[in-house]
Structure 1
């Protein structure tokens, strides 16, 4: 059906920011997140769609909403896991539908000090209606992938992050096949051209906005081996912001300063960092991906991308006006999309015809090897945990039997205490080994099947 007018927006401003809003842990949380709301509202180019990560509490969400509702009247705070997913989507236009898609592989409950499993990480999905026609729909996917705690390839959670990238890729591909504008944003905890990054850009039609404009930008921190191999000079702080798109560990970010600078800041001094200072640690972990919907030109018979990228930048680099600290331990990534001006009489809505794209076969083998290695680890963990449960159960029974012959009351008390504590610990180990690890192994089998199936298609394509 031919549409009469193009009534939706002609440009779209997008912002993504990790707010670092961990309750009881993040310093100056209330003051910083309130100021984040102030700065979003006061932006020279106000955003139309905002994705936030690590906004954990309803209180912080309400503080930001209160300050931005005049430009972003629609918003959704996403609930997930035990402590919440920390994901928020704000919009200039109505959110027609929303859902929270939790990742099947998502950390381990035993690593309670890391918390990834407890927050139920996943993808916050929102279908945003920008106008009255079918062409005026944007599907937004906001996420925060599992954090790396060691350097790749030794990161014990690389299998989780790879599987999570695979899952969000499927969601974005489905949205693109519906012919909608697709926006994926968030803290992906990956460096450019890493395995997770290649999966996203290969198995869905989305593109990393920063690499569209800066295709030769860094693929890691200057101190990292992957960047040293490029043989480039040490970047300064300004270059990392404007060219490399570094959003994390920047020399400009007060939460990454050395102890001397932190002490000066604590005394109320507004410490100034020179733009020319060497910046070996800064890297890009925050991303905006997008894929345009399409329109059909009746005159030429061709499908043409409806949205294109105008610019991308690192933002939210300002400091708190009175505390002089950075607003988060990350900076934001921002982008502007513009819409084509095809004549209304020749425009028809058309689903996006996605070309089949595949990674190299050895890359799928690399993913499968990672799955196999992690599966073996989890099977060992299950045996150990179930063995620990059996040991603690026997110990508990032994202590209870020992109570019968205890010569003194205090000895009986100690035996009962050991029995209770041991059995409680054993039950926890049994639950993790029997239920959680079992669930994770089943998720791994599903992921393995999908990768093998995709590899088979890639091999067939290669032979044609």
Structure 2
């Protein structure tokens, strides 16, 4: 749902280009029927956004699944963020929301071609239709006053990389949103990518985003030596850094998930005390081995062209970034979500004529990952392709088995001497045919669709690898540039 505020001040506001921009991204944990205290928490999320200082200008929300929760947050923040869009996707929705101080001129919802498996219904990624929510936001009268915002929630990891069976999906999703953000940057606009990416810093998905598009992770711009995983993870232990406490993880490592300060990650004893209404406090100096950063804000500055010097310069620069929404519910004493928010402030360089943007697309320099990384992605695709082909054969074989079992039961009905035996055979035949048809549809239709999406992804990776090789040979550069 797209809502426009009837405000007499909006035309005046859009006529004055902003000099700074406050951005916020939060996974709300708003799963209907599953997330605890959902209504109370999301209502308080709206309250705290409305009371934020400095106030946000653009917000991306994830796991805001219901129109009801969206409307509650909209009502509480309408005076700050008069424009909003609730994005529809998949069977149960995409859970994505974008709120803005300025008008949303265009919007779209792009579903990821690879997005989980329907057989894993207990995980739900396939059913919710994950993708990229896009909004083109008009902040002023000129072309330079456009921000293109991309909000997403990538496939969740259910095992530790590289053993995660969904790593191929998440890699393909990172590739897709990277293409969208690069296209926006080539139009010369400010690009903002935000959301719960379900990846750790410098992982494969993270490197794809920062290599194949000009966007940068705001946290690593300010804190380049921040953690690249939870302290308990092998990748962090190899860095040989001291065990961080909870406060350090929030202020320096940008940890938004699994923090020791988040009540939804507490042990059973603390949770029981909290449920009884006790305002349990955790010292910020406690060791925090599980906290990690899964939520991100990426940005790429719009560029403006100086006609006298014939040079382009960055228009937006990063001022600050922080983890926010750490305050707990005032009466329930629980955290507002199982994630904290990530927030950033961009500052605008207003030097140069605002009314004279470039007329054409910007030529962005091509950058590439090391060649062996493309080989790694291709190997992952090949491995997953073989797995899914095996799954298709098994599912179609299961359909054939259940079909013949159904036929056998129906034939057996003719020969049984008692009605109750005939009833049992009919029940078995009905159930077996139902299960077989479902498995047959998954194997014949869904897996076939997934294999075709894999072929598209594979072609793009091979094509990019070939360009990287050609550039390396042309410039006589090392192949691991």
User: What's the TM-score once normalised by structure 2's chain length?
Assistant: 0.94
Q: Distance in 2 between matches of 1:393 and 1:44?
A: 64
Q: Distance in 2 between matches of 1:320 and 1:192?
A: 30
Higher mean alpha-carbon deviation, 72-81 vs 339-348, is at 339-348
Higher mean alpha-carbon deviation, 348-357 vs 372-381, is at 348-357
Question: Is it true that 1:79 corresponds to 2:80 in the alignment?
Answer: no
Task: Please tell me whether the aligned partners of residues 142 and 355 of structure 2 are also in contact (alpha carbons under 8 angstroms).
Answer: no
Q: 2:391 aligns with which of 381, 386, 398?
A: 381
Q: 1:45 aligns with which of 51, 54, 58?
A: 54
Runs ≥4 in structure 1, deviation > 6 angstroms?
A: none
| Structure 1 residues 9-24: aligned runs within 5 Å | 9-24=18-33
**Count of residue pairs the alignment pairs up:** 460
Structure 2 counterpart of 1:239: 248
Q: Distance in 1 between matches of 2:358 and 2:80?
A: 29
Task: Please tell me whether the aligned partners of residues 219 and 226 of structure 1 are also in contact (alpha carbons under 8 angstroms).
Answer: yes
Q: 2:366 aligns with which of 338, 345, 356?
A: 356
Question: Is it true that 1:446 corresponds to 2:456 in the alignment?
Answer: yes
Q: 2:43 aligns with which of 16, 23, 34?
A: 34
Deviation at 1:6, TM superposition (A): 8.8
Q: Counterpart of 1:148 in 2: which secondary structure? A: coil
Deviation at 1:353, TM superposition (A): 2.5
Q: Distance in 2 between matches of 1:307 and 1:431?
A: 50
Deviations 1:43-78 (A, max 9, x none): 011000000000000000000000000000000000
Q: 2:225 aligns with which of 203, 216, 222?
A: 216
Q: 2:73 aligns with which of 35, 46, 64?
A: 64
**Gap runs ≥5 in structure 2:** 1-13, 475-481
Q: Distance in 1 between matches of 2:454 and 2:207?
A: 20
Task: Please tell me whether the aligned partners of residues 145 and 161 of structure 1 are also in contact (alpha carbons under 8 angstroms).
Answer: yes
Question: Is it true that 1:112 corresponds to 2:121 in the alignment?
Answer: yes
User: What's the TM-score once normalised by structure 1's chain length?
Assistant: 0.98
Deviations 1:128-183 (A, max 9, x none): 01111111100000000000000000000000000000000000000001111000
Structure 1 counterpart of 2:140: 131
Q: Distance in 1 between matches of 2:416 and 2:186?
A: 72
Q: Distance in 1 between matches of 2:225 and 2:320?
A: 16
Q: 2:279 aligns with which of 256, 260, 270?
A: 270
Question: Is it true that 1:404 corresponds to 2:424 in the alignment?
Answer: no
**Gap runs ≥5 in structure 1:** none
Q: Counterpart of 1:135 in 2: which secondary structure? A: helix
Question: Is it true that 1:323 corresponds to 2:332 in the alignment?
Answer: yes
Q: Counterpart of 2:345 in 1: which secondary structure? A: strand
Task: Please tell me whether the aligned partners of residues 216 and 298 of structure 2 are also in contact (alpha carbons under 8 angstroms).
Answer: yes
Deviations 1:328-362 (A, max 9, x none): 00000000001102133895336433101000000
Q: Counterpart of 1:118 in 2: which secondary structure? A: helix
Task: Please tell me whether the aligned partners of residues 50 and 89 of structure 1 are also in contact (alpha carbons under 8 angstroms).
Answer: yes
Q: Distance in 2 between matches of 1:446 and 1:346?
A: 41
Q: 2:436 aligns with which of 426, 442, 457?
A: 426
